Structure 1
Amino acid sequence: MKIGEAARRAGVSIDTVRFYERRGVLPPVARRPSGYRVLTDAHVERITLARKLQALGFSLDEVVDALRAHDRGGATCESERWRLETVVDRIDAKIAELRRTRHDALTALEECRAGECRLV
């Protein structure tokens, strides 16, 4: 299938498909003599998986590493669990930072209500 069809089926833009190809998310894509890419259902599935991993909080580099581990064979839930643990730890750290920031903003708001605004 052409790139537009693959992008449509994966729910991404054509530019995303091209970007994923450059970044190594996709394995090498065959080309027609005209230069047009020829993508397969496997490419669409891989794009969809990459998007799901990113939605879970994986960085693009982490997605590429996880896919390469899978491609090498032998990847199991047990051997790859650390990747999800890393994502969860990063999310927990962000939540903690947001809680601190919210607390500081609420404190500033209370001070402002009391006539001691930090903004002026």
Structure 2
Amino acid sequence: MVQSQESLLKIGAVARRAGVSVDTVRYYERRRLLPPAQRLPSGYRLYSQAAVDTITLARRLQGLGMTLDEVADALRAHDGGGATCETERWRLDAVLDRTRARLAELTALQGSIETALARCEAGCCELSGTAAGGTNRATS
């Protein structure tokens, strides 16, 4: 079904409504998160309100930690019509697992930094290259 041009939006209007840049709209189209836009003879892109809704959903999913590839897969499932919370929950579970793993890595890094700081305060600064025995690593 072809929509009337009055109900279609130029790329700038889509970007404003979705709260993104025009470049983001183009990028999402290139990545096939959006269907190809209709074109005027002048080359201007025309989108429906559905494009705004898709971009808004994509940004929300990215904000939850999904990669753009994961977002694209979720959008395809959504567009297929069979997506429900029950069938799609695994996507959020995977992001949560990844976030927990990253948090554990960051916690371990924090501990290492705190240990290095404590060593500096005790006169064994790792940044100066001076080891606990007083030798300079650069001259060893």
Partner of 1:89: 97
In 1, Cα distance between equivalents of 2:30 and 2:61:
18
Look up the match of 1:75. Answer: 83
Q: C-alpha distance in 2, partners of 1:92/1:83?
A: 14
Q: Which amino acid aligns with 2:78?
A: H
State the partner residue of 2:123: 115
CA offsets per residue over residues 9-64 of structure 1, 9 Å max, x none?
A: 11000000000000011122111121111011110010010000000000000000
Tell me the TM-score normalized by structure 1: 0.97
Q: Match for residue 110 of structure 2?
A: 102
Matched, 1:54 2:62: yes
User: Higher relative CO (CA 8 A, sep ≥ 6), structure 1 or 2?
Assistant: 1
Structure 2 segments unaligned to the other structure (5+ residues)? 1-8, 129-140
Unaligned runs of 5+ in 1: none
Which portions of structure 1, spanning 4 or more consecutive aligned residues, are displaced by more than 3 angstroms? none
Q: Provide the rounded CA distance (Å) in 2 between the counterparts of 1:70 and 1:57.
A: 18
CA radius of gyration, larger in: 2
Choose 68-77 or 4-13, whichever is displaced more: 68-77
TM-score computed with the length of structure 2 as normaliser: 0.84
% identical equivalent positions: 62
Counterparts of 2:107 and 2:19 in 1: how far apart (Å)?
A: 34
Cα distance in structure 2, aligned partners of 1:66 and 1:38: 24
**Aligned residue pairs: how many?**
120
- Root-mean-square deviation over aligned CA pairs: 0.7
Tell me if 1:23 matches 2:20. no
